[in-house]
Each structure stands twice: as structure tokens, then as C-alpha cells.
Amino acid sequence: MKNVVVVGNGMVGYKFCEKFMERNLREEYKLIVFGEEMRPAYDRIHLSTYFDGKTADDLVLADSDWYTDNGIDLRCGVMVSSVDQDKKTIITHQGEEFAYDYLILATGSAAFVPPIQGVNKQGVFVYRTIEDLESIESYAARLKKLGRSQAVVLGGGLLGLEAAKALKDLDFEVHVIEMASRLMCRQLDDEGALLLKDQIEELGIEVHLNKMTAEISGENEISKLFFKDGSHLAADILLISAGIRPRDEIAQNCNIETGPRGGIVVNRQMQTSDPSIYAIGEVALYNDMIYGLAAPGYLMAEVALQHITGEAAEMVDQVDMSTKLKLMGVDVASFGDMFGEYQNHRKITYLNRHEGVYKRLNVSSDGTRLLGGMLVGDASEYNMLHQYVANSLPLPENPEVLILPASGDSMEGPSVSDLPDTAVICACENVSKGAIVSEIMERGASSFGEVCNCTKASTGCGGCKPMVKDLVDETLTKMGVVVKNNICEHFPYERHELHDLIKVKGYKDFDEILDGEGHGDGCEICKPALASLFATIYNETANRQEVIQDTNDRFLANIQRNGSYSVVPRVPGGEITPEKLIVIGEVARKYNLYTKITGGQRIDLFGARLEDLPPIWEELIAAGFESGHAYGKSLRTVKSCVGSTWCRYGMDESVSFAIEMENRYKGIRSPHKLKGGVSGCIRECAEARCKDFGVIATESGWNLYVCGNGGANPRHAVLLAEGIDNKTCIQYLDRFLMFYLKTAQPLQRTAAWLEKLEGGIEYLKQVVIDDCLGICQELEDQLQYMVSTYQCEWKQAVETPSIRKRFSHFVNSGEGDEHMEFVKMRDQKMPRPWIK
């Protein structure tokens, strides 16, 4: 068993652990890791998201359990202070000594603070660790209270600009001070930097170039900056981002070679001048350079680990320093040899000041290869151009098409399918196209998320996301995978498949089926869809699985513009006694509700407060009313005309039949709402052919029509059967409704469902009338089960204290929502208009 000791648990030190774990080396090597910070390694790249609400825990790359589970001995909060090269031990700041066979220095770097007079005053910060951000945040909050909001960032590089944006988002007035004559001078040329400056200033951040800071003044806290040119600027908070300094203290204090400007010198195997000691990440000086990006550090971790375990490994000659700035709203990227410093090149540029776009390509002098370049204002081609460089892809004859704005006839750049398998798609994690493709083809990954999980592609800076997505889609399509109409990201199934799964496997609630067949925690799409399926199968009311119901079902009422609710008692067929009309009137008066006759032949009472719903329903139920399910995806009304009872043309008793149907199908929850109609003759006063199901009386019996609707996309219902009696009518309707309930998509009304049904109405007739599938008995039984187990869910609610509790606006107070306001309208009330 050999000891491998890692000093530094930052991004690169962690990557070393991860690679160690993947190789299953714990039998042969013992890995001990020392990290000076108090928490395990975190995602420094996305440090700024801390200001968007990400917590330190969110940023942690792996929690301490991960290290323990993988047999890695992680010691946080321990600094290694020296190395004894002869004894091969390290000594911690607490004086403890540990032996190593291999020592990995992954100590990273620290922010460089220039020796300006006054840098030690309060209000001066750097931007490197979570602790830095915590102190910035609390200092900023204090300033805010005092009404002070002037922030200055020293340094106009990649990091400085990111920090400036973060301060801007904290509502500071921000100035960026840059010593050089342009922003991001390591990535952009004059032209690009000029354009970037415009864009940064458009964000409301002021940029000062060619400015050297002479002194930071203020008593204890800073208040002003003086510059060498004699000018000055008020400053309540100062963020220094003037470059990095490798943390090579350990090497300086022993016999390990360091560079004249810092950094630990390493060879192509990442070994320092002491062959059993390696340096990786931002502390390593390779080819006389420090690489301030994560990807090169990850590569170094790989090389060092391979060398230790005896595999042949070498660091690449030319380290890729391509980057894309992750400022919201400003696109900047540079790739390959961005300035064309290393080879003869010809420059192609595109400049559009008006739109704020600058693009530059450095093309090899023979015009066949792309060497590098930069993009400002529009970096959408970054991934592709980067691929040209990284894989030395042959350029098209007229390479300018790669950066010219797309016009109708312009040539298309290469797509992911043109890339060689070796093309590195995700630079942070070094994932090649081949690796992604084989994850799909050989190991069966079937979605973007799965591919990222397994290959780690797109889990670093995220810049390659669009390309990985394209590649996943393209590969899946090539394999002939039909993209299914899955209900949402949580279930790889369509609605009817879920219906069958519940029936076959007997799932009883949402969590059960989510654990069994889906993943994640559900959403506003799959929850109501499953609620509807559970209702179809077990005929449960919206009260059983309260929290997966759409808001209207959860509160058994329709939410209105201002958060109040409407109350719609069922009035089957539109027939109502004077006594019941009086009760509705009294309840409306007592609770100050707006009343209106609806288009569905009943009365709607609007503007009820949440906490008034149970008492209102209690009174309505006492008078013999039931829920009208006006809030649900369920049967609304069966509209009727007076029919033969009163009408001189009537062929049959339409009111009686409408009441019978409404009472039979009430409470049935379905993919979308259901409406019915019954007309006493072909004059069709009940508009039955505008309904999901409608019957019209004729001399020889009822004509039954299905799959119509009014609404957004009016459809006339189509004839299913002619001249049938009441009993047959109900029989066909039972079968039809149940077949629809089982097979429709979520929120698909009957007309849309029929349109998608292969074979259309003729097929539907065969199923419902001729029983071609042999399922009619089953359909009828299922529907009958629903009819016999019907319960009024409002009755359930008012009689069950635990359900009643749901109807209070506050958990910790009996008050109502003081924010809800009504204004007068005619003789009643309405919600106050929405504020624009």
C-alpha cells in the first residue's frame, strides 16, 4: 500500500480525487487530502452564482460523505506548512507529520494584491473564495443601510468584469479601473476590447482605462481612490482583481524549483524537480506559464495520476486557453491562438459597430486551418469554431462564411455530425464526441440529462451544452428512436401508458408511481395528469391526494383574477326550484358575492374569500345542492331545452334525459372538461352538437353525437348512432366516455382526441357499437363503478375537519388576505383591475 498525499482541495485537487476513485485504486494506494479551506472543494468557476442565491452547499462538488465512502481521507481546515523531502513527510500547521510516497501539490493560487498604499483598509476585498463572497455580501448590506453604494473594481480582466456584474446586481454603482489601454487584454485585441467596453457600459458599469491607482484613502474604511493622473473617485467598497499569484510557498521553503515570477516548475509528466513530488492546477508552471483555467488543471490531474500508476502519460504541448465569458447579457469568447502569436496567419474580421458585434479568425497562411480567434457581441459560433481549432478540421474555401451573419443562401457551417470521433466536445471534462455517442449507442443513454450524468459532459462551465444537445438528438434520431409524447421530464411515458401501469402494477398514489416509474419530484404537468388518472381508475375525489391537484381542484373552486374563488352549485339540466333559487340568493347576499347566470344554464357566485368557501358550501349543501365541479376537468353541465314537456315541437322529454345524464356522469374526472346537451328536436335549442356528447330527439328515437365543442376551436359533434332508445344511448355513452378517459392525452378534449384516433369515427363506432376490441363489458363496468362510488367532494370537505383546515389564508392567523380588493360595478362588485 502506497501513500498518495494531496495538498489543496480546490477544483483540481478534487478532480484528482475523482479520477482516483474512478480507477478503483483504493486497494493499492491510500489517498490523504489536506485542504486549508473549511469545506470540501467547491465550484469556484460558478462562485458568482452565490449572489444569485446559490448557497455554499449548492456549490460543493462532493460532500464529505463522498470522500469517506470512497476511502479518501479528507482533512478540511488543515494547512500543510512544510515538506521534508529526505524523510518524505509533510508537516501540518498543527505540527502533525504524514508520510508520502507520492506528493501532489494542488495549492492553486491566491488573488494578487498590488502594494498600493491603503490596501489594508476596511472595505477592500478580493474575489476568490466563498468566504470572500460572504464578507463582500455582509459589507455590502451594511453599506446599503447607510445609503452608500459606490463600488470600484480594480482590474478589467475576465474575473474583474464578472465581479463588477455581481456588484451591479447587488445594486451598486460600479466603476471598473483598468491599468492597460483595453479590457480583457489577455483575450481580446483593441477592436474587440473597444466593443466589449461599449457593452459593459450598456450594463450601467463605468469603465476607466489607462488608470493607475496611486492611493486608497479613508479613515478606517475606504472612501476614495487617487490615481496617478491626479484624478480621484469615491469608493465605498473596492474589489481587487489584478491577477493571480501561484501559492508556491511550500516549494519556496524547500528544495523544489520555482519560476522567477512564482509557480512550481513541472515537466511533461507534472513532476517537479523532485520526481516524487508533482504539481498540478494553477500552482504549476508548465512551459513557463501558469494556466488560470480549470480545464488545463484537469488535464494535469489526469497526467499526474496516470504517471503515478505507471501508465504512459504526457501533458499536451499547446495548452488550450479558449474561454467564454459567462456574464449575463454580454457574449465574449476567445479560442486557440487568439492573437495569432505562434504561427504566421492571415486575419479575417467582421465588425458591426451598429449591432455591437466583432469576430476575428486567424487562418493559417495556406488558408486551410483555423488557428484561433475571438468573438464579441455574439459568441454563438464559439463551440463550432473551437472545434475547428481543437481538431484541425479543414476550413471551407471561403472561411469568412463561418463568421458572416447567416443569410438565406450562405453556406452552412459543419454540424456535429461532421466532427471526428476524437473531437473534444466538453473541454472542462475532456469528453470526446466518441464518448458521448457510445454512451448512447452502447450503454443506452436516451436523453441529454442521462448523457451528462454518465459522461460528465456539460457539468463544468456549461458552454458546450448546445453542442452536446445537438449531438444527443442527432444520435438518437440516427438510431431511429421515435421521440415520444412523454407527459413531462419526470415520466418516460404517455398518459395512456401511465394509465396501464397504474392498473397493472396497482400504484395507489403519486409518490409510489414516481418512485416506481419516473424520476425527480414531479411538476405542474405530471401531478394533475396523474391525479386525473387515479380518479379514473379508483374514482377518488380531489380530496384524497390534495397536493397533486391543480390549484382549482385543490381548493374545489375556480381561482379568480384576484385570488378569490367562484362557487357553482350543480343545477342538473338547468332545472331549479324557486326554493333553491332563494337559497342561492341568500347565500350570495350573506357572503357578498357577485352573481351571474352562466352560459351553462346555472348560477355562478363570484368573489368568495378562501376562508368563506366551507361555510358557503355548508349552507348550500344543507339546502340540497352539490358541487357543480365547475373547477375540475370533469363533467360540467348537460344543457337541455324544455323539450316535449312544454314545447309544442318537442319529440321527447329532453329535460328529464339531461338530468339523468348529468346525475350519472357528475363527478367523473377526465383528461379535459366534459359537456353534454340534450335537445328535444332538430331545432337544437340546447346546442347539443356543440358538446362532447349530445343527443337530439327524432321521431324514431335519439340521435347520438360525440366529440364536439364550442370554445376556442369550435367543432360540430359527429353522429355515432341513430334512432336509439334511452338505455342504448346511455350504454354507448358509458363505453365512449370510458374509452376516451383511458386513452386521451392530458388536456385533450374529445374533438382533438377523435382527430388523432386512427380510423376516426368509423373506428370509434366499431369499438363502441360493434365491440371490435372486446372491451365493452369492461368499459361499462368501469363506468358503472364510478357512478356507484360517486361522492360530492364539497360534502366530504365540509364534514372533515382536516380538509376544512386547508381553507384558511394563513396558517398562523385567522385573518383573511388583506391584499384582496374589490371595487363596485353596477349594483355588485368586481376585483380591482390588475396593476400594469
Partner 1 sequence: MYALLEKYQTVQKAHVRKWHKVGRVEDFPVNAGACVKINDQQIAVFHFARKGKWYATQNLCPHKFEMVLSRGMIGDQQGLAKLACPLHKKTFSLESGENLNGDLPPIATFPVKVSEGFVYIGMGH
Ligand X SMILES: Cc1cc2nc3c(=O)[nH]c(=O)nc-3n(C[C@H](O)[C@H](O)[C@H](O)COP(=O)(O)OP(=O)(O)OC[C@H]3O[C@@H](n4cnc5c(N)ncnc54)[C@H](O)[C@@H]3O)c2cc1C
Q: Could you write out the DSSP letters of every residue in 633-669?
A: SBEEEEEE--GGGT-TT-SS-HHHHHHHHHHHHTT-B
Number of residues that bind ligand X (CB under 6 A): 37
Does the footprint of ligand SRM cover residue 675 (CB under 6 A)?
A: yes
Chain Cα centroid distance, residue 688: 44
Does the footprint of ligand X cover residue 80 (CB under 6 A)?
A: yes
**Within positions 306 to 335, which residues make up the interface with ligand X, using CB under 6 A?**
323, 326
Among candidate residues 359, 555, 428, the one with its CA nearest the CA of residue 61:
428
Q: Which is nearer to ligand SRM, 460 or 677 (CB)?
A: 677
Does the footprint of partner 1 cover residue 834 (CB under 8 A)?
A: yes
Does the footprint of ligand X cover residue 528 (CB under 6 A)?
A: no
Select from ligand X, partner 1, ligand SRM, none the partner in contact with residue 536, using the beta carbon and a kind-dependent cut-off of 5 to 8 Å: none
Beta-sheet pairing, 232-234 with 424-426: unpaired
| One residue of 4, 5, 6, 8 binding ligand X per CB under 6 A | 8
| One residue of 81, 223, 598, 791 binding ligand SRM per CB under 6 A | 598
Residue type, 93: H
Residue 805 CB, nearest approach to ligand SRM (Å): 23
Residue 745 CB, nearest approach to ligand SRM (Å): 14
**Within positions 722 to 751, which residues make up the interface with ligand SRM, using CB under 6 A?**
749
Q: Which residues fall within 8 angstroms of residue 432, CB to CB, at 6 or more apart?
A: 421, 422, 423, 424, 425
Q: Which is nearer to ligand X, 162 or 400 (CB)?
A: 162
Select from partner 1, ligand SRM, ligand X, none the partner in contact with residue 547, using the beta carbon and a kind-dependent cut-off of 5 to 8 Å: partner 1
Q: Is the Cα torsion angle 359, 363, 368, 370 positive or negative in sign?
A: negative
Among candidate residues 823, 170, 284, the one with its CA nearest the CA of residue 561:
823
Q: Is the Cα torsion angle 42, 43, 49, 54 positive or negative in sign?
A: negative
Does the footprint of ligand X cover residue 44 (CB under 6 A)?
A: yes
Q: Which is nearer to ligand SRM, 339 or 565 (CB)?
A: 565
Q: Please, what's the largest Cα pairwise distance for the chain?
A: 114
Burial class, 97, CB count within 10 angstroms (exposed 0-12 / middle 13-18 / buried 19+) = exposed
Select from partner 1, ligand SRM, ligand X, none the partner in contact with residue 128, using the beta carbon and a kind-dependent cut-off of 5 to 8 Å: ligand X
Q: What does the alpha-carbon distance between residue 259 and residue 266 come to, in Å, rounded to a whole number? A: 10
| One residue of 21, 153, 154, 295 binding ligand X per CB under 6 A | 295
Select from ligand SRM, partner 1, ligand X, none the partner in contact with residue 292, using the beta carbon and a kind-dependent cut-off of 5 to 8 Å: ligand X
Does the footprint of ligand SRM cover residue 612 (CB under 6 A)?
A: no
Chain Cα centroid distance, residue 382: 23
- Binding to partner 1 by CB under 8 A, coded x per residue (else -) over 18-57, reads ----------------------------------xxxx--
Select from partner 1, ligand SRM, ligand X, none the partner in contact with residue 199, using the beta carbon and a kind-dependent cut-off of 5 to 8 Å: none
| One residue of 566, 627, 670, 731 binding ligand SRM per CB under 6 A | 566
Which region among 45-53, 212-220, 255-263, 310-318 touches ligand X (by CB under 6 A)? 45-53
DSSP 433: H
Does the footprint of partner 1 cover residue 559 (CB under 8 A)?
A: yes
| One residue of 558, 634, 654, 679 binding ligand SRM per CB under 6 A | 558
Residue type, 225: L
Does the footprint of ligand X cover residue 153 (CB under 6 A)?
A: no
Does the footprint of ligand X cover residue 166 (CB under 6 A)?
A: no
| Phi (first) and psi of residue 218, to 5 degrees | 140, 160
Does the footprint of partner 1 cover residue 819 (CB under 8 A)?
A: yes
| One residue of 272, 458, 543, 709 binding ligand SRM per CB under 6 A | 709
Q: Is the Cα torsion angle 513, 516, 521, 523 positive or negative in sign?
A: negative
CB 494 within 8 A of CB 486: yes
Select from ligand X, partner 1, ligand SRM, none the partner in contact with residue 509, using the beta carbon and a kind-dependent cut-off of 5 to 8 Å: none
Does the footprint of partner 1 cover residue 800 (CB under 8 A)?
A: no
Does the footprint of ligand SRM cover residue 599 (CB under 6 A)?
A: yes
List b or e across 520-542, with b for residues whose CB sees 16 or more CB atoms inside 10 angstroms.
eebeeebbbbbbbbbbbbebbbb
| One residue of 712, 811, 823, 835 binding ligand SRM per CB under 6 A | 712
Beta-sheet pairing, 635-640 with 674-679: parallel
Angle at 671 between CA 670 and CA 676, to 5 degrees: 55
Residue 180 CB, nearest approach to partner 1 (Å): 35
Select from partner 1, ligand X, ligand SRM, none the partner in contact with residue 776, using the beta carbon and a kind-dependent cut-off of 5 to 8 Å: none
Sheet order of strands, 150-154 included: 124-126, 237-240, 150-154, 173-177, 205-208
Q: Which is nearer to ligand SRM, 25 or 678 (CB)?
A: 678
Which region among 37-45, 142-150, 558-566, 701-709 touches ligand X (by CB under 6 A)? 37-45
Q: Could you write out the DSSP letters of every residue in 214-278?
A: EEEE-SSB--EEEETTS-EEE-SEEEE-S-EEE--HHHHTTT--B-TTS-EE--TTSB-SSTTEE
Q: Which three cell numbers stand for residue 643?
A: 323539450
Among candidate residues 304, 252, 260, 261, the one with its CA nearest the CA of residue 281:
304
Does the footprint of partner 1 cover residue 516 (CB under 8 A)?
A: no
Residue 392 CB, nearest approach to ligand X (Å): 23
Does the footprint of ligand SRM cover residue 563 (CB under 6 A)?
A: no
CB 474 within 8 A of CB 415: yes
The residues of the shown chain that bind partner 1, judged by CB under 8 A, are 52-55, 58, 134, 137-138, 141, 449, 489-490, 511, 520-524, 526-528, 546-548, 550-552, 554-555, 559, 561-563, 806, 809-813, 815, 817, 819-820, 834-835
The residues of the shown chain that bind ligand SRM, judged by CB under 6 A, are 558, 560, 566, 568, 596, 598-600, 602, 604, 630, 636-637, 639, 673, 675, 690, 709-713, 749
